Amino acid sequence: MKTAYLVKKLFDGLNEEYKNDVAILVDNEIIQDIVDVDDVPFEYNIHDLGDLFVIPGLFDCHVHLVWNGSSHPKAVMTGETSEMTAVRTAEHARLALLHGITTVRDVGGDYKCVLGVRDAIEQRIIRGSRIIASGNPVIMTGGHVHEFGYEVDGPHEARKGVREMIKRDVDLIKIMASGGIYGKSESPGHPQFTVEEMSVIVEEAHQAGRKVAAHAEGRQGIINALEAGVDTIEHGNLMTEEEAKIMAEKNVFIVPTISTFYYKATFNDQLSGVPDYVMKKVKQIIEGSYNVLRYVKEYNIPIAAGTDDGATCMPHGALFYELELYVHCGLTPFEALMSATSNAAKACGVEKELGTIEPGKKADFIGLKNDPLKDISALREVDTVIKEGKAEKSNAMGLERENNLEHLRVLKTDRILN
């Protein structure tokens, strides 16, 4: 069905200025044109979005749909059946969609659960965010999140691990280049994998047209991952100016996931059930999370928004919180929005199809009651979600609402970097 969506204020994901009083012409899930409201062809059905501010569908480039965002999500996942985990995965994808996140990049989970949900959403059996999935991360034996990692050692096994995930039809490869905060006996500063192992992984993935995302919190892990040629650095907490400059020169994306560290470090006295070792490590590295955003501004490192939703105390759908923190740390609302739209699409390798509102792209866009270019917190109240030309959420239509995330707050009195 041909539909013309009438828009008062349109942010296309490219230009900082709004387009006023236009119509988005959609046919067969694809944007055909953007025209003046007075120039809508007669064969198009009219869908008036009223006074909403319309922006591209959002990306969250770092989620774990198999985790439930509780105080100890790993324990929940390992204590239930894979069938129950798959059901949770589907529900988490649905919640993300209702928050305006039309695309998520899942960077770690049992491939049978995540890929099954991905395919069910693509076939419109169930509703949820579009999923770009890594399946099981390729990790060293005993490496970070080994609970659902594909363990390999040495270049030969590393290559086989990539091939195994590609055999399962994953969309990208995720690797663990350093330890993290969620393992009791590991440290974010400790590197995992050698450069040789990661180089083989990158080579094999790129030959198959897949990007490589590297969990790298510690400095040496970041250095090794960059030398190996990965496409995105996830977290990057302990990077220095040296690594920041290399990332800028190589045009490697950073996915900061500052919200997961900020929330636990800032509101630690209000949280219960979180393992002590997690809280201790979060407090040690939160300063580095601030520095990541400073380096993004100072060296113009490409940034793609990601939350780590599903991890400890991070509920699904919290992308607005991540973007609020970007602005809190010095990015403009426009820069924050770009990190979750057109720049995010580039980081995921789908910029030809998604990330902006322009002819030839899939018709993914959302409607907000308030202006996000003035106040990024406008993303907290998503009125309408259109995915591939279909209304997935519309308050006026009485469709279900998202989960309540009002407890996620940014303290205006703590450190600001700008």
| Model pLDDT for residues 323-350, shown as the tens digit of each residue | 999 999 999 999 999 999 999 999 999 9
Regarding whether 80 and 16 lie in a shared domain, the answer is no
Give phi and psi for 69, each to the nearest 5: 75, 15
pLDDT reading at 391 higher than 50: yes
pLDDT tens sequence across 362-380? 999 999 999 999 999 999 9
Q: Which of 236-240, 271-275, 411-415 has the highest mean pLDDT?
A: 236-240
Beta-bridge partner residues of 174? 213
pLDDT above 90 as % of the chain: 87
Same domain, 26 and 79: no
Q: Are 139 and 254 within one domain?
A: yes
Q: Identify whether residues 48 and 63 lie together within a single domain.
A: no
Query: What is the residue-wise DSSP string for 56-82?
Result: EPEEEEEE-TTS--SSSHHHHHHTS-H
Residue 399 has pLDDT above 70, yes or no: no
What does the DSSP 8-state code read for residue 242? H
pLDDT band at 401 (very low <50, low <70, confident <90, very high): low
Let me know whether 233 and 364 are in one domain.
no
Look at residue 415 in the predicted model and tell me its pLDDT: 55
Q: What angle do CA 24, 26, 28 make, to 5 degrees?
A: 170
Q: Is residue 417 in some structural domain?
A: no
- Rounded-to-integer distance, Cα 130 and Cα 111, Å: 15
By the 8 A CB rule, do 230 and 202 touch? Answer: yes
> Nearest-CA neighbor of 108 among 80, 128, 83, 85?
85
Domain membership flag for residue 85: yes
Q: Is there a contact between 257 and 243 (Cβ–Cβ < 8 Å)?
A: no
Enter the pTM of the model: 0.95
Interatomic CA distance for residues 132 and 114, integer angstroms: 10
Could you say which of 321, 348, 375 is where a domain stops? 348
pLDDT for 7-48, tens place per residue?
999 999 999 999 999 999 999 999 999 999 999 999 999 999
CA–CA separation, 303 vs 284, rounded Å? Answer: 23
Higher pLDDT, 396 or 192: 192
* Nearby residues of 127 by Cβ (< 8 Å), 6 or more positions away: 94, 97, 121, 392
Instruction: Specify which residues 101 forms β-bridges with.
Output: 58
- The reply to whether 377 and 258 lie within a common domain is no
pLDDT at 129 > cutoff 50: yes
Whether residue 256 lies inside any domain: the answer is yes
pLDDT (mean) for 172-183: 94
pLDDT at 268: 87
Same domain, 263 and 309: yes
**pLDDT, mean of residues 290-306:** 97
- Is the pLDDT score of 413 beyond 70? no
* HSE (side-chain half, CA atoms, 13 Å) at 412: 0
Specify whether 41 is located in the same domain as 97.
no
Confidence grade of residue 74 (pLDDT, cut at 50, 70, 90): confident
Query: DSSP assignment of 357-406, as one string?
Result: -STTSB--EEEESS-TTT-GGGGGSEEEEEETTEEEEEGGGTPPPPPP-T
- In this prediction, residue 199 carries a pLDDT of 98
Q: Is residue 132 part of a domain?
A: yes
Q: What is the pLDDT of residue 418?
A: 44
Identify the band that residue 398 occupies on the pLDDT scale cut at 50, 70 and 90. very low
Domain count of the fold of the chain: 2
pLDDT at residue 400 in the model:
56
CATH assignment of the domain containing 281: 3.20.20.140
Average confidence (pLDDT) over 51-75: 95
Q: How many C-beta atoms lie closer than 10 Å to residue 52's C-beta? A: 21
Residue 75 has pLDDT above 70, yes or no: yes
Tell whether 335 and 361 lie within a shared domain. Answer: no
* Of the candidates 175, 257, 247, the residue with the CA atom closest to the CA atom of residue 214: 175
Residue 231: inside a domain, yes or no? yes
Alpha helix (H) residue ranges in 271-355: 276-299, 319-328, 333-339, 342-348
> How many angstroms separate the CA atoms of 367 and 309, rounded?
22
- Residue 36, class by beta-carbon neighbours within 10 Å (0-12 exposed, 13-18 middle, 19+ buried)? exposed
In a domain, 405, yes or no: no
Give the residue-averaged pLDDT of 66-73.
94
Alpha carbon distance 367, 301 (integer Å): 29
Cα separation, 101 vs 128, whole angstroms: 9
Percent of the chain with pLDDT over 70: 97
Q: Once rounded to an integer, what is the mean pLDDT over residues 300-311?
A: 97
- What integer is the mean pLDDT of 384-406? 79
Q: Answer yes or no: do 45 and 140 share one domain.
A: no
Query: Does 138 fall in a domain?
Result: yes
DSSP readout, 202-227? HHHHHHTT-EEEEEE-SHHHHHHHHH
- Tell me, yes or no, whether 45 and 77 share the same domain: no
Last residue of a domain, one of 333, 348, 363: 348
Helices (H), 145-257: 154-167, 195-207, 219-228, 241-250
Residue 67 lies in a domain: yes
Q: What is the CATH number of the domain that holds 380?
A: 2.30.40.10
Same domain, 28 and 140: no
- Full domain range(s) for residue 341: 58-348
